[in-house]
A and B are shown apart, each in its own frame.
Chain A
Amino acid sequence: MIGSSGAKAPPLASPLVRAIARNWSAAFLLLMLVVFSLATPNFLSITNAQNVVHLQTIGFLLAAAETFVIITGGIDLSIGFVMGLCSVSAAKLMQLLMARGLPDATTVVLASVVVLLLSLLPGLVNGIVITRFKVPPFIATLGMWGIANGIALKLCDGFPVAGLPDLLPRVGNGYLLYVLPGNFLSFFDKPPDFPDARIRELWRLIPFSLPFIVAVLGFLAFRLSRTAFGRHTYAIGGSMDASIRAGIDVDRHLVKVYVLSSFLAGIAGVFNVFQTGIGNYTTFNASYEFFAVAAVVIGGASLTGGKGRVFGSAVGVLVLAFLENGLAISGVQPFYRYIAVGVLLVFAVVVDKLFPDLL
């Protein structure tokens, strides 16, 4: 019998410590919510919570994209600018289609579909450069970072692309339920005769973005944890050699992962047009890719690969979002946010190093 004696397996921390280490970011999120709720009266409200989550739709998408890439042991720095490129090109395309006299709904649907298809391209290029030419992911996607940004700026001349169909923000910022307490309730849109002056009395519940992002994250989490695609993603991050020798087509798989990443950035870009009603290029200091990576790491992934969860990354996004929101509402200077994010990021990596067998 092999393996029962002379084993020098690493000692394991107690189950309680491991449980805390595994879920520290969720615990930190709860703690933060409690503290901000006690510290400021305006923090704890459905409106504020909904706003934070709604405004982070893009953050969730980009963090989910980065989760897959980071689990393989890579990194995708291009997602922020790919998002901007997709936002600008969707808006430009809508302008063109409107000028042709197409109805608004057709314009919006057609442009969105075309841009979502185009959003596969940056990832395809990233994946091929990384697997065929063995360029490190950091450099390959940094190249795409510049290319996507350059094309976006060229397309829009450095200005937001406006003059798009009104239905965009109505859909993008719509809610499932509109309630005037004790009076009435309507679905999908505020009652047509409701005076704008009283808009603040109206409860708007469940932004459309919420079921949308829950469905997307749920699907991605399912793919990652319950399918061969996800299993192979973890395996490649754990040992590329083992994966190759197990007969997995690692190059092909990595291309798929980078395509998925840029497709999710494409969804984020199109969503951005729906949310703001204009096409926005990504500004240089927006650092979407940085916050996505930070959220993924705070959510328990390891930059050395093999580890990470979609919902963990979503918790990471919420930690960063409520941190910013809570500090702002409490009247703390915004600079402290960066310090807090920095501390959290380093703390996350320390936890990862202290508990290498937590998955």
Chain B
Amino acid sequence: MNEAASPYLLETRDIVKRFGGLTAVDRVSIGVRPGEVLALLGDNGAGKSTLIKLISGVYKPDGGSLLVEGKDAHIESPKDALAAGIETIYQDLALAENLDVGANIFLGRERFKKRLGFIRVLDDADMAKEAKTVLDRLDIRIPSLKAVIRTLSGGQRQAVAISRSIYWKAKVLIMDEPTAALGIAEQRKVLDLVRTLRDQGLGVIIISHQMYDVFEVADRIAVMRRGQLAGERLARDSSPDEIVGLIVGSETVTRR
């Protein structure tokens, strides 16, 4: 099929991560193309989170390589990953709960203005304005941009985390259990958002335990087991039963 010819936006090649004697990620090669949603599945401890942390620069790999747009990416820290256009939304969202929406979206990359011509001060008004622009673009409503994250609901927090990534022109967006903490209505909206992002040409990697979510939005499904890549399927050619079989390690599981 001709899809295979399109270059990966982000690719790992035989990437390895060890913790002492434990090989958490063992020569895993996966990739995501622009405008594609890749679901990453696996049981607890299968190495999904470690793989994500390798891609997002939290861990340094012990072997293998990481390619962004076909070129070797030197990602040694979260900052490098962000600079390469890789944005990660963790399950805990990693928002500073004591800061407001604008401050969170711009955390670590603040906007400044000059006072008296030479004193650099934070430009909170500009950051709030930009925050509103990106929230509007994604059709997200937050009661007040001045509200600190602690006063927002789970869905609102998720929305802020997603907006932050979008604002920074992510090429690849990694989402760890994006719907886990949400109510049903908010789950659907997040999945809609994922589709919107895909249609805008982003590569999205989504970790989820919810088989429904996976088949709802994913184009391709990669399954990890005990640190290794157990298999990869196109979502439209696969079924939840087959994926569960890959996850638990018995491809012949049938339930009929």
Contacts and interface: CB of A to CB of B under 8 A. Distances in A.
Verify that A and B bind, or say they do not.
yes
Interface of A: 1-10, 12, 222, 226-228, 231-232, 234-235, 237-239, 241-248, 306-307, 356-357, 359
A234 B122 contact: no
B96 A9 contact: no
B141 A239 contact: no
Interface stretch (B21-29, B155-163, B210-218): B155-163
Q: Pick from A227, A234, A246 the residue with the most CB of B within 10 Å.
A: A246
B140 to A, nearest CB: 5
Contacts of A306: 96-98
A241 B97 CA distance: 11
Interface in B153-191: 153-156, 158-159, 183, 185-186, 189-190
A340 B56 CA distance: 51
A231 B120 CA distance: 13
Contacts of B141: 1-4
A3 B159 contact: yes
B155 A239 contact: no
B107 interface: yes
A2 B190 contact: yes
B13 interface: no
B253 interface: no
A3 B109 contact: no
B59 interface: no
Given A5-B185, A243-B108, A10 B96 contact: no
Contacts of B96: 234-235, 238-239, 242-243, 306
A10 B77 CA distance: 35
Given A1-B140, A2-B159, A242-B96, A12 B151 contact: yes
Interface stretch (B86-94, B223-231, B233-241): B86-94
Contacts of A307: 98
Interface in B67-123: 77-79, 82, 88, 90, 92-99, 103-104, 107-110, 112, 120-122
B129 interface: no
A3 B153 contact: yes
Given A1-B139, A5-B185, A235-B99, A247 B94 contact: no
Contacts of B93: 242
Contacts of A9: 143, 151-153, 156
Interface string B23-63: 00000000000000000000000000000000010100000
Interface residues of B, number: 48
Given A1-B139, A1-B141, A247 B98 contact: no
A306 B95 CA distance: 12
Majority secondary structure, A binding face: loop
Contacts of A247: 77-79, 82, 108-109
A232 B104 CA distance: 11
Contacts of B92: 241
A106 B90 CA distance: 58
Contacts of B155: 2-3, 6-7
Given A2-B155, A3-B140, A226-B121, A245 B186 contact: no
A242 B94 contact: yes
A357 B78 contact: no
A110 B104 CA distance: 44
Contacts of A7: 152-153, 155-156
B148 interface: yes
Contacts of B138: 2
28 contacts: A2-B138, A2-B141, A2-B159, A2-B193, A3-B140, A3-B141, A3-B152, A3-B159, A5-B186, A7-B153, A9-B151, A10-B151, A12-B151, A222-B121, A227-B121, A231-B107, A231-B122, A234-B99, A241-B92, A242-B95, A242-B107, A243-B96, A244-B58, A245-B56, A245-B78, A246-B109, A247-B78, A247-B108
A247 B141 CA distance: 27
Contacts of A234: 96, 98-99
B16 to A, nearest CB: 23
A10 B107 CA distance: 24
A299 to B, nearest CB: 16
Contact of B186 (A3, A231, A241, A359): A3
Contacts of B139: 1-2
A4 B143 CA distance: 8
Q: Pick from A241, A245, A248, A356 the residue with the most CB of B within 10 Å.
A: A245
A357 B146 CA distance: 12
A2 B141 CA distance: 6
A2 B98 contact: no
Contacts of A238: 96-99
Contacts of B183: 6
Contacts of B142: 3
Given A6-B153, A247-B78, A359 B148 contact: yes
A233 B215 CA distance: 42
